[in-house]
Structure 1
Amino acid sequence: MPHILFEKNDLIKVPSLKNNIEFDFIAKSYNFTQKERKTEYRIAVKNQNKEFMLSLKPKDENFMIKADKVTRISPVALIKGALNAYVELNNAKVLFSNTNNLIVKEDTVHEYLKDINYFVNDFKTTKEIQIEIGFGSGRHLLHQAKTNPDIQFIGLEIHYPSIEQLLKQLELQNITNVLVVNYDARLFMEFIESNKVGKIFVHFPVPWDKKPHRRIYSDEFVNEALRVLKIGGTLELRTDSRKYFDFSTEVLTKLPKGRITIDINKDLAVSSKYEDRWKKQGKNIYDVTLESWNEDEKIDLNVDFSFEFKIDFSKILTSIPTKSIIEKNYFIHVEELYIIENMENSGLIKITMGNFDRPVTKYLLVKDGFISYYQGNPLPTSSNINAHKKLKEILSK
C-alpha cells in the first residue's frame, strides 16, 4: 500500500486545504490501558467527496504516513493524492515514497458482482428469488439460471477465485439473472425480505467436523431461512458427509412445524466433478429438504443507529471498558481512543463489534460531545443492532 516516510516535524494545522483535498481534524491516541503504547495520529481527509483517515505514526526517528486500515477506500489514487498533499502542506523532507511510482491494479467492475450494501439499500425485484450458498465451481448455479430465466438467482461465495470463475461464465454464456456477493451467508439472510425466496441451495458445504460452530446450519440460520422462504419454499442441503447429514437433521427436527424430506443418492440434472468422484468411490450422497409452511412478518431494515445524547468525552477516556463485552449473539471491544486536538470535547473511539464470525470495526466520531459513526452506520444485522444498543447504554452512563 502507498506510504511516505519523512523526517519528523510539526503536524499540519487543521482545517487545511491542499490540491482540493480537505484535512478536517487530527486526533492523537490516548493510552486508556496499562500497556505501553507509542503515540499515533489519525488525520481526517476528504477527497472527491469521499471521507477517510490517514495514519501517522513514528518510525524510528521519523514519521510514516499511510492509509488507515479501517477507513481505507478505493480507488487508491485518492489515498495517494492525500498522502502527497499532506507532506506538501507539511513541507516535509521525504526519505521514501512509493506514491508516485506505485502501480496499483484498478478493481474490475463486474455488472453482476454486488457489494453487500447493494442488498441492504438498493436491491428490488418482482421475480421469485433463489439463493445458492457456496456455489463453488458454479456448475449447479449456472444450470439453474439457464433453466429458469424468469427467476432471480443470488450466489454467495467467500472463495474469490470461484467468484471470478462464475463471473467469467456468466459473461461467456450471456446469463443475466444471477447476482453474486462475497459475504457470509449466515448474515446475508438478514437483508432479504420475508416470504420472498423459492429455494435455498446448500450443496456440499464444508463439514467443519472439528469446528462445528462454523457450520452454516444452525438454529439461527434455519430460522432466518424459514423467514425468507415463501410458503412451499425449500431449504435444500446436499452433502457427502454423514456427520453433517446427522447434524443437520438434528437441527431441523427441533423445528415446531415444516416438512423434512430425505433422499440418498438422488440423481440431479447436473453434478460437480467432486460429486462424480465421490460416487465412483462409493460414497453416499445425502439430500435433506425442508419445506416452509409458514408466512412470516416483514422486517424493517431502516434501523436508527443514532445517539440521542451528548457526552463528556473526558469522562469516557477514564470510564470506558478496557475488556471485551461478550453477550450471546454479539460482542463489543474498544480498540483505541483518540483526542481530537484543538477541538473541545471531541475525539474518536475505535471499536470492533457485532457478529463473532464477521465483526465490523468502526470509528465513533465525537464532536462537541455528539456521537456518530464515521463513514456511515454499520450494516443493520441483528448483532450490530444489539451491539449499538449496548454502546448507547455504556456511553450514556
Structure 2
Amino acid sequence: MPHCLTHQFSLPPLPYVCEDYHFLFEVQKTSNPKESLIFVRFKDYEFFLRKRFRERKGDYILKCEKISSSLPTGIIKGAIRILAQFNSPYLITHNLNNDSLRQTLQSPYLKKISDFLDFCTPFELEIGFGSGRHILQKAQKNPNMLFVGIELHTPSIEQVLRQIELLGLQNLWIVNFDARIFLELIPSNLARAIYLHFPVPWGKKPHRRVWSERFVKESMRVLSCGSRLELRSDDEDYFSYALEVALQEKTLQMQVGKNLCGEVVSKYEERWRKQEKNIYDLFLTSLQDSPPKPQYPTFDFPKPREDIWGSFDTISKKIIGQDFFLHIDSFYTHQSQCVVMLSFGDFNQPQSKFLLISKDEMHYIGGNPLPTQASFKAHQELVKLLG
C-alpha cells in the first residue's frame, strides 16, 4: 500500500490544485482527533487519503483509505507524492517511487462494475477464470461473441490482461469483482452461458461459496432461454452440495456428468487427471425467458435535519434486517461538513461508502452504491435516521 511517514505534517491551504489533483477538504474523526480524511479528486476519480498520528512512534502516516484502495495504484501514489513533497523537510520514508506500467496505465479490457449498470450486449461469463486458459480459448474461437471474466485474484487478472494484448483479442473483458453481486446487476436473459469451473470449495466457510440458492436463481434469470450454467469441480462434497441446492429449484432441466472431456482442459483439470481424481459436471439449462430485472427507487436523500449535527451520538449505529444490514462506522467533521463512513447491504456481500453531509444536502461520495435490493433497503433505513 503506498504511504509516507513524516515527523510533522501540514496541508497547503485547501482547496489546493496540483497536477490535476484537487485536494478539497479535510475532516477530523470525532472519536479520535489525531486521525483525519483528506478528500481528493483526480479526473473522474474521487477518494480519501487517511492521515493518522501514531502516538507510540511519534510520527504521521499518510495512506489511501481502505474503501478507496481499489483505485489504480499509480493514482493513489501521485496524490500522496504531492503531499509528501509539501512536507519534504519532515519526511522520514516513503514507497512512492518506481511506478510500474500497470500502476499508471489501465488496460481498456479491465472494466469497472459501473460499465455494466446499463449493459445490453449478449455475452458469455466465466467466474473465477484462474490462469485464463478456458476463457482465452473460447474468445479466440468465437470472435463474434463477447466474453466477460470475473476474478478476485489480482495476479491472475494481470496475467490474462497481458494475454489479451498479446493475442490481439477484442472480445474479452475482465472484471475484478464479486460474481454474486455482478449477477444481480445484469439485465435478464442476456447471458448465453455461465461457467463456474473448479471454484474454491470453502469447506470450513461455506457461506463464502459462490454457488448458493440465490446464485442459481440469479443465473437462471440472467441466462437466455436454452442457455446453461456449467459447474465443474474435483471436490465431491462441493458437487454434492451444489446438486442439493439445484434440486431446490421448482422446475429444472439438469445434466450430470463424471470424468467427461471438456471442450477446453484447464491446467487444474490436467493436474487432477494426472492424479486420477474424479471430475464432476453439473449443467443447468434455462427453460424460459425471465421477466425484466426489478427496478429499485433512487438513492436520493432529503434535506438534512437542522439538528443533525447534534444527533450523531444518539442515532442507531447498527440496524439488522432479515436480508440486509446497515452499520455506521464513524463520523468525520470540519466546520459545516460531515463525512459518515458506512458499510451496508447483504451480509455476505457488503458494500462500503462515504456519505457527505453539508447544511443543505447529503450525497454518497464517488457515486451511488450498487443498485442491489439489500443496498436499497439499507439506504431507506439511513434516510430515516438522517433525513
Normalised by the length of structure 1, the TM-score is 0.84
Q: Is 1:107 aligned to 2:81, yes or no?
A: no
Structure number, greater radius of gyration? 1
Match of 1:119 in 2: 116
SS in 2 for 1:40: strand
User: For residues 174 and 98 of structure 1, do their structure 2 counterparts lie closer, same or farther at Cα, with a shift above 3 Å needed?
Assistant: same
> Structure 2: which amino acid aligns with 1:55?
R
Q: Which residue of 1 aligns with 2:150?
A: 156
State the Cα deviation string for residues 172-196 of structure 1 (Å, max 9, x = none). Answer: 3333221111111111112222111
C-alpha distance in 2 between matches for 1:107 and 1:244: 40
C-alpha distance in structure 2 between counterparts of 1:254 and 1:181, whole Å: 30
Q: Distance in 1 between matches of 2:172 and 2:386?
A: 43
Pick closer, same or farther for the CA change 1:264–1:216 going to 2, 3 Å: same
Cα 1:68/1:290, change in 2 over 3 Å = closer
What is the deviation of 1:202? 0.9
**Residue of structure 2 aligned with 1:320, choices 288, 304, 315:** 315
Q: CA deviation at 1:228?
A: 0.5
Q: What letter corresponds to residue 116 of structure 2 in structure 1?
A: F
Instruction: Using the aligned pairs only, state the percent identity.
Output: 35
Whole-angstrom CA distance in 1 between matches of 2:164 and 2:96? 35
Residue 384 (structure 2) pairs with residue 389 (structure 1): no
Task: Determine whether 1:76 maps to 2:96.
Answer: no
Assess if the C-alpha contact under 8 Å between 1:339 and 1:348 holds in 2: yes
Residue 295 of structure 1 and its aligned partner are, at CA, apart by: 1.7
Aligned to 1:203: 197
Q: Is the 8 A contact 2:4 2:84 kept in 1?
A: no
Match of 2:51 in 1: 56
Contact residue 47 and residue 82 of structure 1 kept, 8 A: no
Distance in structure 2 (CA, Å) of the matches to 1:38 and 1:231: 57
Counterpart of 2:36 (choices 19, 37, 41) is 41
Hey, what does 2:139 align to over in structure 1?
A: 145
Out of 227, 232, 237, the residue aligned to residue 233 of structure 1 is 227
Counterparts of 2:141 and 2:171, CA distance in 1:
11
The answer as to whether partners of 2:84 and 2:91 remain within 8 angstroms in 1 is no
Q: SS state of the match for residue 186, structure 1? A: helix
Tell me the distance in 2 between the aligned counterparts of 1:202 and 1:168: 22
- Per the alignment, residue 329 of structure 1 pairs with 323
In structure 1, list runs of 5 or more residues that go unmatched: 32-36
The answer to whether the aligner puts 1:213 opposite 2:204 as a matched pair is no
Deviation at 1:248, TM superposition (A): 0.9
Whether contact under 8 Å (1:23, 1:45) holds in the other structure is yes
Mapped partners of 1:115, 1:223: distance in 2: 24
Equivalent position SS for 1:317: coil
SS in 2 for 1:39: strand
Which residue in the other structure is 1:34 paired with?
none
SS in 1 for 2:291: coil
8 Å contact kept, 1:3–1:67: no
Conservation of the 8 A alpha-carbon contact between 2:3 and 2:61: no
Q: Which residues in structure 2 correspond to 1:1-397 (within 5 Å)?
A: 1-3=2-4, 5-7=6-8, 14=14, 22-31=22-31, 37-46=32-41, 50-60=45-55, 63-71=60-68, 74=72, 75-76=75-76, 78-80=78-80, 82-83=82-83, 87=86, 94-96=89-91, 102-105=97-100, 106-121=103-118, 123-125=119-121, 128-299=122-293, 304-311=298-305, 312-322=307-317, 324-341=318-335, 343=336, 346-396=337-387
- Unpaired stretches in structure 2, ≥5 consecutive residues: none
Alpha-carbon distance in structure 2 between the residues aligned to 1:24 and 1:164: 33
Structure 1 stretch 313-322 or stretch 248-257: which is displaced more? 313-322
Q: Is residue 45–residue 51 contact of structure 1 (8 Å, CA) maintained in 2?
A: yes
Deviation sequence 1:72-115 (CA, Å, 0-9, x none):
65523541365258x4xxxx783116579733333342232212
Change (3 A) 1:362 1:277: closer
Structure 1 vs Structure 2 CA RMSD: 2.9
Instruction: Name the aligned partner's letter for residue 108 of structure 2.
Output: E
In structure 2, distance between residues paired with 1:143 and 1:193:
26
Q: Distance in 1 between matches of 2:279 and 2:361?
A: 57
How far apart, in 1, do the equivalents of 2:280 and 2:21 lie?
58
Q: Is the 8 A contact 1:71 1:375 kept in 2?
A: no
